[in-house]
Structure formats: structure tokens, C-alpha cells
A and B are shown apart, each in its own frame.
Chain A
Amino acid sequence: MVVLNKKSFKLPRVEKEKFIALMNSGCEYNREQATFTIKSYNNIERLIDTISSILGSDVVFLQSCTRCGKDFACGDCKYEELCTTKNLPFGCVCPQCLRDRKHFEEYLQKL
């Protein structure tokens, strides 16, 4: 399993067809830094499938908690099986912040 950062990630050199598939699925390539970034999330599942087939392994993105800002994996969440966007790079609330009343009250004060 490969963990990627949604802001930018590196991939091994890919053949033309795979590169086109990446671009068509919403990826953007930074020639100077040789990194990929996700430009459009409309075909995110297809993009993940393409990246997985390039890397030959499952790909997961770390989730960032909208309350405390920490990164965490979907594996830590008990709703993982019910989630339709499991392992995709979208914001969420980490299990600690969700159960912790203190965290919640601090978060409300910030609003």
C-alpha cells in the first residue's frame, strides 16, 4: 500500500498512454519539480485506479482533520466500511476530535 500526499506526489516514469490517462483523469504535471498534483476531483476514482496500476499497489491518501488539522488514515475510522469516499483526498474529522467533547467546544469557540 502506498500513501500519497494530495498536494503533490511523484510517480515513476510512465509510458505515453498512462500519462494521457493521468491527465484525462484530472492530474496536472509540474515539469520543473517533476511532481503530479490533482487538479480536478471529478474522476478521482479513475485517477486512483490509474495511479494504482502504475504503482502496482493500492493507493491511499491521508485525511486531514478539519478541526485539529492533523493527518490520519481512513483505517483509523470506524465508519470506513460505510464511506463512499474511503481513502480519497477529502477533508474529514479525526476519531479523537469526534468523540472528544473538549476538542468540540474549542472548535466551536474558534468559529
Chain B
Amino acid sequence: MQRNDLLWVEKYRPKKIEDIVGNEEAKATFVEWLKTKRKNKKAVLLYGPPGVGKTALVNAAAREFGFTVIEMNASDARSEKAINAVAKPATSYVALDNFSAGQTQKKRNLLFLDEVDGIAGNEDRGGVGAIIKIVEEALTPVVMAANDPDIDKLRPLKKVCLLIRFQQVRIPLIIALLQKICLLEHVKAEFEALERIAQNSRGDVRSAINDLQSLSEENHSLTLQDTAMLSSRNKDISMDDTLRGFFSTKSIAEVSSLLSYSNVDYDEFLLSVSDNLPKRFTDPDELAAAYNFVSQADVFRGRIGTENWHLLKYFFNSLSRAAAVNPQSYKPFEFITPPIRIITLFWTKGKRTMLDNICGKIGTKCHVSHSIAKHDFVPFVKMILQKQKNSPLIAWLEFTPEEVDFLVKMNRF
């Protein structure tokens, strides 16, 4: 393939770390880890939206520091077996191409697992466990990249990794890069056209370069009019950003637009709003008014259920009115997130399971349901055990010592 036929994203793929635009802090942390800090954390997880330079950084850094990249991405099968077949040999210390002629400096391998959040389903069974094992045993750096690090299956991986977050690349930085490419490709571009491409890319450098190429390659010129056909790229807004935008809003229209762009879980968002309202509105009248709108939103959420999505606009409208009760009174505060209810459920899961087991045992022996056992039997069993620690009831109901201890100490049903 001729160099002129190359896609511009390939042609201008960063060769050096300094060529990567934006995310200076993330780059510095990664380089520091690669140079010195691998003793503390053997693996690193780069995460952030697509097109911000995660893969480019790994490749550029490997080139600069003399690593051979062994890559597995979403197109490869990443089951336990496949990972062990590829990644285990890769984490041996010396790269195979050291044995090729003319090599003066020894190269090491760098294992790069791209899009680890895509490890899913039956075909990738055991993949995460295999990666963790490899990370623990690896002699060479292991680098992973993901768009969404918050998914449950990556939780064990995050414990063994140094996390480095990548942000969307800022619009002025993208415009500057597009200007440079235009100069090198001899494209006469209007500043406003580059501005429009950069804005439309929403921080995704790759899509901005692709848009620039598709619009200007043929005529070597680019006007604002040419960009009219650009399709808008909508990006999901995270829960934190949605909450921040929601509480600092200046108008109902602004928050409505934010909610329609955001793809948060509406039930969780409603709980978070409810938790944070007292921090946002310190005036009791304003707080009451805001809670009134939130309760209306809750009613609409209940009516929406899983099918009446035409009511979503009313849900948004009620929430927007809650946020905009008094925009002038906004002062920054620390958000409570995730919602208190979800945190409480998480912390009490063990206790609830224990109580469930106890109710099951009582239910089996006394031929009653879990609910009746919980409400009508447990309080009396508790009183008996508090008064008589070696009651024959324990043996009859087959309680374990932990269950007895739990029943004696529990103060609420």
C-alpha cells in the first residue's frame, strides 16, 4: 500500500509519546510506571473514552523504551485457554525477535490486552481469572485498556492494577492537531470548519481525523459548508457528570438537555438526586419544593415501568424543575454516590442472607413461610436464646453457632 493511500489516522499515528495530544498527566503516570514503579503494581489499566490515545500511548511508549508489544484485542478469543496460550509465553523475559540478526540491544515483551471490558460471554469464560494469574506471575509489564472500567467483571482486575484515567481530548488541542495535518496534507481549511469537526468529535481524536480526511481529501480544501453533512456524535455522560450538571444547572432547559443526552440508570439517578438534595438546597422551603418535584418524577418513573417510555419527558420535566428551584443558590458540595440505599443493601447483604437462612430453617421445622417465620417466630426465638443460651431449640432448629450469635445480637428485623 502506498503511503498516500493510508488512512490519515494510520499515517499520523503517534510515533513518540510527545506526539499524543492531551492527557499529559496520564502519559506521565504511565511512563513513570513503565520506568520505575512496576515493583508495586505489575499491571496497569488505562481507561477512558475511545479515541483519546490509550492504544497509541502503549505503542509509542513500547517503541521508545524498547519493548516488543504482544497484543490481544477484542477480535481475539480471550478465554482462559486462549490467554494462557498467548499471554503466558509473552510474559517470559526476552522477546523472540532478539534472536534475529543484527539485534544489539535486548528487547523485552510487553503484554497489551486491549478492550478488556469486552471480555464477555461463554466464549471468553475464565478470561479475567487467567489475566489476574498472569499479572501475578508476570516478569514483564502487562498493560490493559478499557472504555468502561466500572463493569462488575473487571472489579477483581482493578485490584491488581494501577488505574490511569484518560479524559476526552480538549477541543483546542484537536483543532491544533487538525491544523497540523492540514498543513502536511496541503489542505486549505477554514478555521471554522476545523472548529466544527473538533466540536462534533466530542473529544475523540480518531473520529476527528477521519472526518477531516473524508471531507477534504478529494478537493484539498475545506469550508464550513462542507461540514454541514457531519452527523452528530452523541456520547454518554457518566453518573457523576450528570449529577454535577444537574445540581449546578442554571435553567430547566439546560438540565432537560443534559438528561436526554445522559444514559444513566434512571432509578439509580433518582435515588442519588434524593440523597444529594439536602446538600444542594439548605433553605427548607427550597428543599421542600425540590423534593415535591422529585416525588412527582418518582411517580412518573413508576408509570413508565418498562414500556411507557412516551412518559419519559414528564419524568425529565419534573426532575428538571427540581434542579432549577433556585439556580442562584448553588454552592459546590461533595456528592453522595452511589445512592445510600444501594450502599446499605451492599453492606447488609451478609446479614440479610443469614436471616434468610434462619427463617428457612424455622419455616422447614414449623411448616410456615419465610415471611411468617421472620415476623412471627424470629422475635420469640431471639428472646428465648437471649435468656437461655444452651436452649434445646438450637439443636432442634439446627442453628450454627454463627446463626445463634447473629440472632442474639440482632436489634432489628
Footprint of B on A, CB under 8 Å?
21, 40-42, 45-46, 48-50, 52-53, 56-59, 66-67, 77, 79, 82-85, 88-95, 97-99, 104, 108
Q: Does B334 contact A (CB under 8 A)?
A: yes
B172 touches A49 (CB 8 A): no
Chain A residues near B295: list those with CB within 8 A. none
**B177 to chain A: closest residue by CB:** A93
Q: Which 10 A-B pairs have the closest CB atoms?
A: A52-B332, A93-B172, A79-B171, A42-B165, A41-B25, A91-B24, A49-B334, A84-B168, A93-B176, A85-B167
Chain B residues near A21: list those with CB within 8 A. 334
Most chain A CB within a 10 A radius of its CB, from B24, B29, B203:
B24
14 CB contacts below 8 A, A to B, read A41-B26, A45-B240, A49-B244, A49-B335, A50-B334, A53-B332, A66-B24, A79-B172, A82-B199, A88-B167, A90-B22, A90-B167, A92-B173, A97-B176
- Nearest chain B CB to A15 CB, angstrom units: 13
9 additional contacts, CB 8 Å, given A56-B331, A79-B170, A91-B22?
A50-B334, A53-B333, A53-B334, A82-B171, A84-B167, A85-B168, A90-B24, A94-B172, A98-B175
Q: Give CA–CA (A45, B239) in the complex, Å.
A: 12
Interface residues as binary, B163-186 with A (CB distance below 8 Å gives 1, 0 otherwise): 111011011110110011001000
Q: Give CA–CA (A89, B333) in the complex, Å.
A: 19
Q: Does B292 contact A (CB under 8 A)?
A: no
B183 touches A108 (CB 8 A): yes
Chain B residues near A91: list those with CB within 8 A. 22, 24, 173
Footprint of A on B, CB under 8 Å?
22-26, 29, 163-165, 167-168, 170-173, 175-176, 179-180, 183, 191, 199, 203, 240-241, 244, 331-335
- Nearest chain A CB to B21 CB, angstrom units: 9
Q: Give CA–CA (A48, B168) in the complex, Å.
A: 18
The verdict on A49 contacting B175 (CB below 8 Å), with A42-B165, A90-B23, A92-B170 known, is no
The verdict on A77 contacting B172 (CB below 8 Å), with A21-B334, A45-B244 known, is yes
Partner of B173, one of A41, A52, A66, A88: A66
The verdict on A46 contacting B334 (CB below 8 Å), with A90-B22, A90-B23, A108-B183 known, is yes
- Nearest chain B CB to A79 CB, angstrom units: 4
Q: Give CA–CA (A57, B309) in the complex, Å.
A: 39
Q: Give CA–CA (A97, B42) in the complex, Å.
A: 40
Question: In terms of DSSP, what is the predominant structure of the interface of chain B?
Answer: helix
Q: Give CA–CA (A42, B150) in the complex, Å.
A: 13
Q: Give CA–CA (A24, B345) in the complex, Å.
A: 23
Partner of B333, one of A52, A93, A95: A52
Chain B residues near A84: list those with CB within 8 A. 167-168, 203, 241
Q: Give CA–CA (A14, B321) in the complex, Å.
A: 35
Chain B residues near A58: list those with CB within 8 A. 332
Chain A residues near B175: list those with CB within 8 A. 93, 98
Most chain A CB within a 10 A radius of its CB, from B29, B168, B183, B334:
B334
Chain A residues near B191: list those with CB within 8 A. 99
B164 touches A92 (CB 8 A): no
- Nearest chain B CB to A50 CB, angstrom units: 6
A41 touches B333 (CB 8 A): no
**A86 to chain B: closest residue by CB:** B170
Chain B residues near A85: list those with CB within 8 A. 167-168, 170
Chain A residues near B335: list those with CB within 8 A. 46, 49
Chain B residues near A67: list those with CB within 8 A. 176
A92 touches B165 (CB 8 A): no
Chain A residues near B244: list those with CB within 8 A. 45, 49
The verdict on A49 contacting B333 (CB below 8 Å), with A99-B191, A108-B180 known, is yes
Q: Give CA–CA (A52, B163) in the complex, Å.
A: 25
**A95 to chain B: closest residue by CB:** B172
Most chain B CB within a 10 A radius of its CB, from A50, A84, A108:
A84
- Nearest chain A CB to B314 CB, angstrom units: 27
